[in-house]
Chain A
Amino acid sequence: MAKPKLHRFAIRSSRKKTIEVIVANLFRLMTYCVILAAAYLFFDITANGSKAVFQGKAPFINIQFLTEKPQTLHVFEPLEPYNEIQKRRTQILQLQSKRKALGSNDTEQRTEYSEQIDNLQAEIERWDAQRKAERLKYSDDAYRALDHTPDLSMFKHQTYAYSGGGIGPAIIGTCLLVLGSIAIALSLGLLCAIYLSEYSRPGKTLQAIRLSILNLSGVPSIVFGLFGFGMFVHFFGWGVSIIAGWFTLAIMALPVIIAASEESMRAIPRGFREGSLALGASKWTSIRTNVLPYALPGILTSSIMGIARVAGETAPIMFTAAYALRDQLPWEGLEQPTDFFFQGVMALPYHIYVVSSKIPQNEYTRDMQYGTAFVFLFIVGFFALSSILLRIHVRSKYKW
């Protein structure tokens, strides 16, 4: 059959073009792989975490989880399903070993064994559903308040550390740490940036300072943690405390905030300053009225990003401010007001580390782990997202 005749300018397919399309799609595939990998992470944590954080009935948010202290979980497993499941598990193991011992010719026997195993699995699932429906879970407080403990001839009593209660102190601790450290870092960093960009004389020294600040912003956070531990916790004798954590985190955020704020101030055209100076304004007035207002959005975005960074870091607070477990809130049990600053707190990132590496993994710790990770991701993501959206908005608004 003859091919239909193409117009002279029609797009013809050629090998070159096919390759072009393939390569372009390869790049597209790579990009979407990255996007999907990250999206799966978000999805997994959101899906599993929302089980702990949300609930089916009003007020739909699990207030207990967000406000209570972490506690030991007491679980009463009904004995009957438990025994039934164990019995079937041993049966399955026996069948499996029998199946293994078979020669390669006994296909009939093999399929029979496999069927039996599948049946047992299904039964286990049924019993498991019953076990889940009948089991009783108490946090430590509730367990102590019980009038009479469940009958131990019908229930199997087990305890799981860290799995009950909620993450209230950790949320409060993280908020405290972030607020204090960002206040210190912002005030120091902003003033420093104003000096460096507006007042200092350009020269070798300024260049060197700028370079070292830039380099310091790439230093691993654990090194800042090490420094904070040696300096604030030991050398100053503050111990593991909020204030040691504040300064450690602030010093970590300082280079980033200085560099970003200075950059957004230097991006303001010289004409803005010169115009103001020409009208007779003093240096400070021209900075105040003609530089800072225009640099503010840029500074704001970078400092919100700084908040996300500071909130997300674990390594610097691991041994300067965070306790694995503390059953008092920061304002409870203070002898004098200054004690507030010299006490360790729980923090969300450290709590995630503790519950995901220091305790045995089982179905009861899952809720705690995922719930904490979800809340944490939500807080950090909120700051990061607002920074990103603000930046997009600012970029489209200010252009010179």
Chain B
Amino acid sequence: MTQDSKASEPNAARFDRRKNILFGRDKDSIIKGFFGSTATVAIVVLALITLFLFKEGFGFLGSYHKSLQEYRLSGLEYVDILKEPRDDFSALNRYLNDIRAEWIRDLNARGLSREAVSRTVTSPKAKALFLSYIRAGSQLRGFIKKKMDAAIEVRDRYQTNENLRETLQGYAEKIEAVSEPGYRLSPEDRAQFALRLKESIRDNTLQADKLPANQEILAALEKGSPLTAAAQEIYLQLLRKQYLKTEATLRPVDFSQSINTITDEQERYAEILFNLEMDIRKVLKRADAIDFENKSLDKRIQRFRELNDQYLASIPKHKAKLASWDQNVEVPLWRALAAFLAGKDWVTASDQQDWYGLLPLLSGSLLISLIALFFAVPFGVGAAIYVNQIAGPLERNLIKPYVEFVSAIPSVVIGFFGVVVFGEAIRLLSQFEFMAWVPFFPLQERLNAFTAGALLALMAIPTIFTLAEDAINNIPRHFKEASFAVGATRLQTTLRVIVPSALSGIISAVMLGFGRVIGETMVVLLCAGNRIKIPDFSEGLGVFYQPVHTMTGIIAQEMGEVVRGSVHYRALFMVGIVLFFVSLLINYGAQWVVKKYRKVGD
């Protein structure tokens, strides 16, 4: 630095041989400028990533908000509230079917012949319970189907209209551009014009006496010669015609009118619900007539009854909710963000409403990371302790490069290994009888959170190992010597002196391992099973064997198929932003831990 400042002083020393090369700059400062500009380019490019992600992401809030607003205005939201009792009823139906299946199993187990079983199960008494219960809901189902179709139709019509408006806008702009004197045809316009003109000549929609002139223009167009004034006039004429034609197909949707077709028939709905209640009560009374001869089945029927009571008790609340629903309440903008961050569904390309909720993906990512860290932390840290403290120099010099080599295995190869070898091996293993003590064995799915997590552990171990080994290695030698001097054994020294002093480094290693796991794409895409649903935590440990989907996986899977600029496209960018922030947070946290606790023991 001092050199530079000296050079720029006016009275430089005589032996300063710096020469002006360009614009009063000497060679050194040109070189410096060159490096500086490259550095700026690199840093600007890296900053662009963030900017670009945010640009696309913020677009998401607007378009998702608009979609939610349409959801409310078109009455789809109302229909979704209507659907609640139907869905609950279906769940009860499933429960009843389950009881029936168990009953059949029970009868089979008692050694009844196939005919006897089917006779019992289809006896009038049984039919009165099982079949009548299903039938009780038919009116409700029909009613809701009708309303749903109406709402979907309104929403679709509205969207068609919006698209038409956009097309009209495009035509209007084109007309304006063409009417300007200095207009020149672009290749696409030329092709379009020629096509239109050909159609008009064929259909004879232009003035008949000008037919030869039109054909001349067409020939000129196809040759690629510039536009004449007459041709321009005809082009305008055609465009205007097109505009009017499109405008005629426009059928505006008045939401305040259309909602009536959905919210009317309130009395009919109340009647249906009343009938349903009556039917359910009647059916439940008949349930006593069947003798299951089995305590647990009786208990389940009792439980079924309680569930039905709860269901019937919830109906007034549902009615109140329907009554309080108002089409005209604006959806606040923050709701779009909340629906993304706390949304429980990720549903795309459905005929009703698309939902972009992060929770199923986030919970899947976290679940897999948890499994991966469960394996990677003990093995990674344990191996680091072993290599640094216990192993001999030969072992150390072999293991360290080996683990580093393992870290270079491409993730897609590990994922492939999971698909063809590991997933299958785990499933086969789970089918052996001696493994039956493990909860939720045998497994149904070959690819699940556990498969992906265990493989990701293999990717996280090298990261954790290398960084933790570094941290342990950085502990000053005199710590160890002091500990030995007071008579501690090697194990005591390692576990009570070395590891605690390196703890901050080890924690930061674990955090960076976590960062690697949560950002990994190919392994989870190939091995996690890809079911978009929040894992069912009520299953206890079985939750680890469910197929899940992840944030990285969803981007990789759906990015190739989305339309650019759609809500879906932007939703994927939002997921990317979340990933970006999570990884920044983890990195920053790891640095903070090291910085904060570095002083310990100094």
A373 to B415, CA, bound (A): 11
**Per-position binary interface string of chain A over residues 184-197, scored 1 when its CB falls under 8 Å from any chain B CB and 0 otherwise:** 00001101101110
In the complex, A35 has a CB within 8 A of chain B: yes
> Per-residue CB proximity of A307-330 to B under 8 Å, as 1/0?
011011111001100000000000
What are the interface flags for B414-435 relative to A under an 8 Å C-beta threshold, 1 for contact and 0 otherwise?
Answer: 1111011100000000000000
Tell me if B584 and A31 are in contact (CB < 8 A): no
Judge if A399 is at the interface, Cβ distance under 8 Å: no
Interface residue A19 (Cβ < 8 Å from any Cβ of B): yes
> Shortest Cβ distance from B196 into chain A, in angstroms?
26
Question: Of A20-28, A67-75, A139-147, which stretch is located at the interface?
Answer: A20-28
Judge whether B52 is part of the interface by a CB distance below 8 angstroms.
yes
We find that the number of chain B residues with CB closer than 8 angstroms to chain A is: 85
Picked from A34, A196, A385, the residue with its CB within 8 Å of the CB of B379 is: A34
Partner of B555, one of A19, A226, A388: A226
Does B148 interact with chain A (Cβ within 8 Å)?
Answer: no
B208 within 8 A of A: no
Chain A residues positioned under 8 Å from B49 (CB to CB): 216, 223-224, 227, 251
Decide if B408 touches A305 in the complex (CB within 8 Å): yes
Q: Which of A1-9, A36-44, A82-90, A332-340 contacts B (4 or more CB under 8 A)?
A: A36-44
A192–B42 touching, CB < 8 Å = yes
A83 CA / B143 CA spacing, docked (Å): 54
Contact A314 B382 (CB under 8 A): no
Interface flag for A380 (CB, 8 Å): yes
Question: Which chain B residues lie closer than 8 Å to A198 at the CB level?
Answer: 35
**Among listed B154-162, B324-332, B516-524, interface-contacting one:** B516-524
Task: Determine which of A218, A254, A319 lies in contact with B46 in the assembled complex, contact meaning CB atoms within 8 Å.
Answer: A254
Asked if residues A369 and B420 are in contact (CB atoms below 8 Å), the reply is yes
Within 8 A of A (CB), among B571-602: 572-573, 576, 579-580, 583-584, 586-588, 591
**Given the complex of chains A and B, what is the CA–CA distance between A30 and B461 in angstroms?**
11
Smallest CB gap from B565: residue in A? A234
A289 on the B face (CB < 8 A): no
Q: How many residues of A contact B (CB 8 A)?
A: 90
Additional 6 contacts, C-beta under 8 A, given A212-B46, A282-B28? A194-B35, A226-B572, A230-B53, A311-B410, A380-B409, A385-B405
Which A residues have a C-beta under 8 Å from some C-beta of B?
Answer: 16-17, 19-20, 23-24, 26-28, 30-31, 33-35, 37-38, 41, 44-45, 188-189, 191-192, 194-196, 198-201, 209, 211-216, 218-227, 229-231, 234-235, 251, 254-255, 258, 277, 282-284, 305, 308-309, 311-315, 318-319, 349, 352-353, 356-357, 361, 366, 369-370, 373, 376-377, 380-381, 383-385, 388-389, 392
B residues at A contact (CB < 8 Å): 1, 3-4, 18, 27-28, 31-32, 34-36, 38-39, 41-43, 45-46, 48-49, 52-53, 56, 378-380, 382-383, 385-387, 390-391, 399, 401-406, 408-417, 419-421, 458, 461, 465, 489-491, 512, 515, 518-522, 525-526, 552, 555-556, 559-560, 564, 572-573, 576, 579-580, 583-584, 586-588, 591
15 CB-based A-B contacts, threshold 8 Å: A30-B379, A31-B387, A192-B43, A195-B36, A201-B1, A213-B43, A222-B576, A223-B519, A225-B556, A226-B53, A234-B564, A283-B28, A312-B409, A376-B412, A377-B410
